[in-house]
Structure 1
Amino acid sequence: MQPPNVRCRPYEVERRAHHAARPGFRIAEMQIGPTQTIPWHYHTEVQDTFYVIGGTIRVFTREPDEEVCLTVGMTYSVRPGRPHLVANAGDISAVFLVLQGMGEHDFVPLT
């Protein structure tokens, strides 16, 4: 079963695996290199909850502007509709889970 929007990803990551995909909910594991980002975007219905497994990431948000640095074991949630960007904050690959729900997943890039 492929999760929504698999064919139209507007960005590259080192590795992506899906551990669960159910109607209205999914868990993805992502690995991003030291220079990689998940560009500015938002989700119409789903909340993103990030859980860091290895390395360090920074989550930048708007409305309001915020920057959060997450290390192993830390979590952070971004409400539906809130623009955000995820970046590797270290010099090694970062691995993290993204729990997304409840609702239909979409990826709305910001221009």
Structure 2
Amino acid sequence: MGYRTVDYEDVTPADGRPCELRRLGAAAGLENVAINRFRAEPGEQLPLAYHYHEEQEEAFYVLSGTLAVETPEESFEVETDELFAVDPESPQRAYNPDDADGDVVVLAIGAPAVDGDAVAYDAED
């Protein structure tokens, strides 16, 4: 058996990201699911680019603020205490709009926890 706790403030934010990203699942030693905490100021996006995942399902649970999500078909506003789910091969770009009143804080969960399955999506195609 194994148990552990992780305080997000003890997890160093990832470098080179468009907003604050703390990899909670990795800090907890989880291998089958990715759990990340994002904090985006107005005008910042969560991912590095508009993208989709080949295998991974994603879920974004909004802890505070309002998350905007752009997809090829429509845009969504995900409010505090709402969950936005994304199937594999479904392009999306999650962000905090420029005109937002404040930060958005999101818990993102992805499974399986695979590296290298994110594919850039060109919205112009």
For the superposition of Structure 1 and Structure 2, which TM-score range results when normalised by the shorter chain?
A: 0.7 to 0.9
CA RMSD, Structure 1 to Structure 2 (Å)? 1.9
Pick one of 73, 86, 102 that aligns with 2:94. 86
What percentage of aligned pairs have identical amino acids? 24
Aligned equivalents of 1:47 and 1:68: distance in 2? 18
**Poorly superposed stretches of 4+, deviation over 3 Å:** none
Per-residue CA deviation, residues 3-47 of structure 1 (Å, 9 max, x unaligned), is: xxx77x6x411x111221333311000011101123310111101
Between structure 1 and structure 2, the one with the greater Rg is: 2
* Corresponding residue of 1:70: 78
Query: Which structure 2 residue ranges, 5 or more long, are not aligned?
Result: 1-13
Between Structure 1 and Structure 2, which shows a larger proportion of strand residues? 1
> Alignment length, in residue pairs?
101
Q: Which runs of 5+ in 1 are unaligned?
A: 1-5
TM-score, with structure 1 as normaliser: 0.79
Greater RCO, CA 8 A, separation 6+: 1
| TM-score, length of structure 2 as denominator length | 0.71
The equivalent residue for 2:60 is 50
Cα drift, residue 77 of structure 1: 0.4
Structure 2 counterpart of 1:109, one-letter code: A
- The Cα shift of 1:91 comes to 2.6
